[in-house]
Chain A
Amino acid sequence: QLQLQESGPGLVKASETLSLTCTVSGGSVGNSNYQWAWIRQAPGKGLEWIGTVYYTGRTFYNPPLKSRVILLIDKSNNQFSLRLTSVTAADTAVYYCARKGPGYNSYYLDFWGRGTLVAVSS
């Protein structure tokens, strides 16, 4: 069974960079059938898609976040990562990593990590 696990600091200072890693087990981030995504959820709010990275390193970002986000893939460690620069209090959220299901013409997230809360302090 595929499992995803987020890891990283739970507290980041404002204006600094948030860095999270998602470790995948039971599957390979190098599998060409899938893409790997990050989603976040501010406290008491809805879900916001951050972006997706493909095994080739190709990325798709949410336009409002594009200037501050970098998604990377590490096939040797079966991980993918998120970096969000110049964070503010508005970036405080639970961050989830997930797998995009197979299929070129469809986009859905079929496996999710448990999520990790990241708070931004002033």
Chain B
Amino acid sequence: QSVLTQPPSASETPGQRVTISCSGSSSNIGTNFVNWYKQLPGTAPKLLIYSNNQRPSGVPDRISGSKSGTSASLAISGLQSEDEAEYYCAAWDDDLGGLYVFGTGTKVTVL
């Protein structure tokens, strides 16, 4: 049911920067805030970015989010082994009376 499209995978060496894209439409990203979640295997997702570019307490500033039109991006700089995880974008969608939609997910591998 995912209406937000992400690349299935991304990889980079330690210390480098990786960027994950999230493509949506006018009813979701084009109108509403974008959030990002990080999920390690076997654990619950963790909020990483909310309201396009805000970091919850405890999330390092090497992690950033941005939005332009109907797309959004998550950037992780100074890549570390602990960043290896699945990442999901999400946004409220105004279609069908309103629902919260997640992206397809991107597996980040630290080479």
Contact = CB atoms under 8 A, between A and B. Distances in A.
Contacts of A33: none
Contacts of A106: 32-33, 50-51
Nearest to B2: A46
Interface residues of A, number: 25
Nearest to A48: B1
Interface string B30-63: 0011010100000111110011000010000000
A109 interface: yes
B77 interface: no
Given A60-B99, A64-B1, A107 B44 contact: no
A108 B46 contact: no
Interface stretch (B10-18, B19-27, B66-74, B90-98): B90-98
Contact of B44 (A48, A61, A113): A113
Interface residues of B, number: 28
A63 B102 CA distance: 14
B33 A112 contact: no
A46 B45 CA distance: 11
A48 B104 CA distance: 10
A63 B3 CA distance: 14
A60 B72 CA distance: 25
